[in-house]
Amino acid sequence: MTAENEFTVTPYSVDGEIDYEKLLEQFGADQLSDDQITAFPDPAHPLVHRRVFYAERDIDRFLSAVNAEKPHSIVTGRGPSGPMHIGHVLPFYFAKYLQEQTNALVYIPVSDDEKYFLKEMSLEVIGAHTRENLLDLLAVGFDPDRTRIIVDTADGDVVYPLATAFAKAVTQSTIEATYGEPANIGLSFYPAVQATHLLLPQLIEGRHPTLVPIAIDQDPHIRICRDIADKQRYDVDKPSALLSKFLPSLAGPGKMSSSDDAPSILLSDDRETVFEKIRTHAYSGGQSTVDEHREQGGDPERDTSFQFLSYFFETDDERLERISQEYRDGSLLSGELKDIAAENIADFLECHQERRSQLGSLVDELPAYRLTDAERNRARHRVGFLDNGVF
């Protein structure tokens, strides 16, 4: 979607410097309020109280369930089109944080089918990315008793029957009005698959509030799913959404993307690589010379290194504020700020990589997170696909 030719935000394309307020007007979502932030379990995650997650749809029902200790779930997924970078992994660490605080169910759909429809990649290449991405997801450290990972092409016995039921509630004109003209019929069908992802916890566990923490470019999927939930007879709540801003690209404001000219910081990067990428490529909000910076100071809101710290990689609010003030008054130089960000990110990645290195093979690790036979049957039965002994 385009705002006066300044930026484009769709599930398949993000370009330009984004005006997040205009985007809310276009998408029709609501600003996350102070009262809603306060209603999150204490302490609220930095992504919430620093308003990286800045908008919502129908979140009060989810928060009420959390605070009343009633059943609730979280759905956040991954499209495996390449190696994961730090922007990809933030919603998963956020979901893990909420799971630890509230005992939430977490469902993680992996949409390898969508990436095949969307990208010029073979199924073999996407399969290789899927396997690597799954290891990174497992390294986050979710509770296997409260987490389910669904891979579309591997779990077709559940995904396809549900998507078939939901697809009948969506017209092609609705798809084109929401996404533009799809490049192929696979992308026309995919919103029904996405609705399956988002409604699956309720189809298995019964009606309860579900939260989808997701970058705002994915909001069209939420809108289609909420429409489907309104039309269907399966006794489900419309999923709630918590919509985030994008982690900036190293090149400056905008979304970090594996296809950018500026490199992304990958989950596999070692400490030396992180420092090299940030020192070489991170957009600076400082002045062009040291003397000018000492005199005029820098702008942390325009500085990629500071934004990395603010979004996720500095959890101490007081330290973050001190870094911001020192950068504004010129006592902290751009190079010094870059090194602070690089140090924090490298520390985070080393912890992630250590957990990943402790994992066994996917054959050993993944079964604990897959749907059980009983869960598969409950989901299929809820939409009328009964096990009659033939299949």
What spatial distance separates the first Cα and last Cα of the chain, rounded to whole Å? 43
220, pLDDT greater than 50: yes
- Same-domain status, 289 and 169: no
Supply the pLDDT for residue 383: 86
Residue 261 lies in a domain: no
Supply the pLDDT for residue 389: 46
Binned at pLDDT 50, 70 and 90, residue 25 comes out as confident
- Same-domain status, 208 and 88: yes
Average the pLDDT over 223-240 and give the result. 89
Residue 350 lies in a domain: yes
- Same-domain status, 293 and 220: no
Residue 356's contacts (CB-CB under 8 Å, 6 or more residues apart) are 135, 136, 138, 139
391, pLDDT greater than 70: no
Residue 281 lies in a domain: yes
Tell me, what CATH number does 197's domain have? 3.40.50.620
Supply the pLDDT for residue 51: 95
* ∠ Cα 89 236 185 (to 5°): 65
Residue 363 lies in a domain: no
- Same-domain status, 127 and 36: yes
Domain that holds residue 336: 271-357
Structure tokens at 66: 């959390």
Structure tokens at 371: 């749907």
Average the pLDDT over 371-376 and give the result. 96
Residue 389 lies in a domain: no
- Same-domain status, 219 and 128: yes
pLDDT, tens digit, 9 for 90 and up, residues 180-209: 899 999 999 999 999 999 999 999 999 999
Beta bridge partners of 55: 31, 243
b/e sequence 57-71, b meaning 16+ C-beta within 10 Å: bbbebbbebbeeeeb
Mean pLDDT of the chain: 92
Binned at pLDDT 50, 70 and 90, residue 387 comes out as low
Domain end, chosen from 244, 259, 290, is at: 244
- Same-domain status, 197 and 113: yes
Sign (positive/negative) of CA torsion 346, 352, 356, 358?
positive
pLDDT, tens digit, 9 for 90 and up, residues 92-109: 999 999 999 999 999 999
338, pLDDT greater than 80: yes
Binned at pLDDT 50, 70 and 90, residue 386 comes out as low
**Are 276 and 247 contacting, i.e. CB atoms less than 8 angstroms apart?**
no
Tell me, what CATH number does 345's domain have? 1.10.240.10
pLDDT, tens digit, 9 for 90 and up, residues 262-279: 789 999 999 999 999 999
1, pLDDT greater than 90: no
Dihedrals phi, psi of 319, to nearest 5 degrees: -65, -40
Structure tokens at 288: 């062009």
Q: How many domains does the chain have?
A: 2
Residue 337 lies in a domain: yes
Question: How far apart (Å, rounded) are the C-alpha atoms in residues 89 and 235?
Answer: 32
Question: How far apart (Å, rounded) are the C-alpha atoms in residues 382 and 364?
Answer: 30
